[in-house]
Structure formats: structure tokens, C-alpha cells
């Protein structure tokens, strides 16, 4: 993967996908040119923030943490409202978006990330959204990302670029990419469980998707290996 000397800002949640994207960015732009931003948006499981800090430290990049508590105030979804349990794929009415969908989250995250990038002279913003994600979240789709990129460029009058390297990858392909870019040590400290469990609960949709990806890739999940030893 060819490097360039431009700077990149990675939206780092501490999860599997954003961890992969962080190391993808390091490989593409060079370690000295990459930083990360993590959002404290009132998520129920604070371990996500701990995971993001640990991943950033292992990667050796600067991490900025921004507080955005509005999502917690809005509520109505399983990731910010303790009264709502995450749905699983076994839940009826599977045609509807799962209750783990936080309306507007990626739109807000990327808008704040680009604002931060603008102030630091950074032109490239990297996100782990993927259209192939099982959830079908509308703010993970390429057309959403392209529309948002255009709005951001017009609104900030700057040539900012949004990168989604996982957009059309399966979870198994994402695992192979993580291995290729050297993300596996950090992956052992990533967190994706919707129930906030460590070791992973293995039952929520996020855990199932992650487990299937590693199984299909024929690679042991470093997180499962690490937590099995502790």
C-alpha cells in the first residue's frame, strides 16, 4: 500500500472495524501523519472508550476524545438507553432497523470529525462504516457517505475527503485486512459486544457477526484468545 505525506484523522470507536481502519490509515499515510478521534456520546458501555484508548496507545497515535452527550439525552436506542435491551437476529419484525441503530450517529460523528480535521489542516477522514454490515444501517451506506462528503466540502469550502476502506468488504475480508495491516495486537483489546461483556457475550448480533468473520477467515479472534487466558 503506497504511502503519501498527507494527514489523516480516523474515527476510532474501539471496535473491530475502526481498529482495522486505524492501522489501514497508518499503512497508507504513515504513522506520523495519523491521529484518531473518539466520541463520548453517552454510550452505555464505557468500556468502548477504554478500548479506543488502548488501541490508540498500541498504535502509537495521538487520540482526541470529544464529548457529545446529546444522543444519551435523545435516547430511544439500545446503545444509549439502559432500559432497552439490544435486539438479536432472532427478534421478530426483522425488516425494521434494529434498536441498536442510533439515528444520525455517523452523520454527527463525521461532521464533528471533519470540523476537527479542518482546524488541524487534515484533509482525509477515515471511518469504519460498511455497506455490507448485517444491520443495513442507512448511515453506513456509500450513497450517504458521498452525499455527506459533498455537503461537508461545500459547507467548509475545503477539499475534505471521507474514506471508508471497509465499505464493500465482508467481515472475513475485514479480518484478513486487519492481519495484513498489522492490527491484530490491538484487535485483542477492541470491543464490539452490544451487551458490554468481556469476554464477549457471544449472543448479540455484533458478537455473532464478529465470530463468523473470524471463523470464515480461518483466524482466531485475538480478543477471545486474550480473554480466555485471563
Q: Is 21 annotated as a binding residue?
A: yes
Q: Is 12 annotated as a binding residue?
A: yes
pLDDT at 215 over 80: yes
Q: Is 3 annotated as a binding residue?
A: no
Distance, in Å, from the CA atom of 10 to the CA atom of 22, rounded to the nearest integer, reads: 6
Q: Is 132 annotated as a binding residue?
A: no
Q: Tell me, what's the pLDDT at 84?
A: 56
Q: Tell me, what's the pLDDT at 88?
A: 62
Q: Please give the residue that has the higher pLDDT: either 38 or 75.
A: 38
Q: Is 207 annotated as a binding residue?
A: yes
Q: Tell me, what's the pLDDT at 45?
A: 73
Distance, in Å, from the CA atom of 92 to the CA atom of 89, rounded to the nearest integer, reads: 8
Read off the pLDDT of each residue in 207-221 and give the average, rounded to a whole number: 96
Sequence ranges of the domains in the chain: 8-229
pTM: 0.89
Q: Is 140 annotated as a binding residue?
A: no
- Give residue 14's pLDDT band: very low, low, confident or very high (50, 70, 90): very high
Distances 7 to 26, 109, 152, 153 between C-alpha atoms, Å: 10, 19, 18, 17
Read off the pLDDT of each residue in 43-59 and give the average, rounded to a whole number: 92
Q: Is 20 annotated as a binding residue?
A: yes
Q: Return the CA Rg of the chain.
A: 17
The percentage of the chain sitting over the pLDDT mark of 90, rounded to a whole number, equals 69
Distance, in Å, from the CA atom of 200 to the CA atom of 166, rounded to the nearest integer, reads: 22
Q: Tell me, what's the pLDDT at 3?
A: 58
Distance, in Å, from the CA atom of 179 to the CA atom of 202, rounded to the nearest integer, reads: 22
For 65-75, write each residue's pLDDT tens digit. Answer: 999 887 767 76
Q: What is the spatial order of strands in the sheet that 161-163 belongs to? A: 62-67, 34-40, 8-11, 124-126, 161-163
Q: Please give the residue that has the higher pLDDT: either 146 or 206.
A: 146
The percentage of the chain sitting over the pLDDT mark of 70, rounded to a whole number, equals 82
Instruction: Specify which of 94-98, 99-103, 179-183, 195-199 reaches the highest per-range mean pLDDT.
Output: 179-183
- Under CATH, domain 8-229 is a member of which superfamily? HUPs (3.40.50.620)
Q: Please give the residue that has the higher pLDDT: either 101 or 148.
A: 148
Q: Tell me, what's the pLDDT at 92?
A: 45
Read off the pLDDT of each residue in 150-156 and give the average, rounded to a whole number: 97
Q: Is 87 annotated as a binding residue?
A: no
Q: Is 19 annotated as a binding residue?
A: yes
Amino acid at each position: 500500500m503506497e504511502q503519501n505525506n498527507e494527514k489523516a484523522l480516523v474515527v476510532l470507536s474501539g471496535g473491530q472495524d475502526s481498529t482495522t481502519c486505524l492501522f489501514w490509515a497508518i499503512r497508507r499515510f504513515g504513522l506520523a501523519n495519523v491521529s484518531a478521534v473518539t466520541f463520548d456520546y453517552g454510550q452505555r458501555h464505557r468500556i468502548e472508550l477504554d478500548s479506543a484508548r488502548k488501541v490508540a496507545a498500541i498504535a502509537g497515535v495521538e487520540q482526541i476524545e470529544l464529548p457529545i452527550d446529546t444522543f444519551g439525552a435523545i435516547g430511544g436506542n439500545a446503545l444509549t438507553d439502559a432500559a432497552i435491551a439490544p435486539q438479536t437476529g432472532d427478534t421478530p419484525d426483522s425488516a425494521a432497523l434494529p434498536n441498536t441503530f442510533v439515528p444520525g450517529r455517523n452523520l454527527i460523528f463525521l461532521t464533528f470529525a471533519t470540523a476537527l480535521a479542518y482546524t488541524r489542516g487534515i484533509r482525509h477522514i477515515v471511518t469504519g462504516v460498511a455497506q455490507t454490515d448485517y444491520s443495513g444501517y442507512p448511515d453506513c451506506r456509500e450513497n450517504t457517505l458521498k452525499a455527506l462528503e459533498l455537503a461537508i466540502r461545500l459547507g467548509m469550502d475545503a477539499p475534505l475527503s471521507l474514506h471508508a476502506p471497509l465499505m464493500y468488504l465482508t467481515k472475513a475480508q475485514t479480518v484478513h485486512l486487519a492481519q495484513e495491516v498489522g492490527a491484530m495486537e490491538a484487535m485483542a483489546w477492541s470491543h464490539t459486544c452490544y451487551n458490554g461483556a468481556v469476554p464477549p457475550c457471544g449472543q448479540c448480533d455484533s458478537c455473532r457477526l464478529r465470530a463468523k468473520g473470524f471463523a470464515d477467515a480461518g483466524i482466531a479472534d485475538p480478543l477471545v484468545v486474550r480473554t480466555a487466558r485471563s
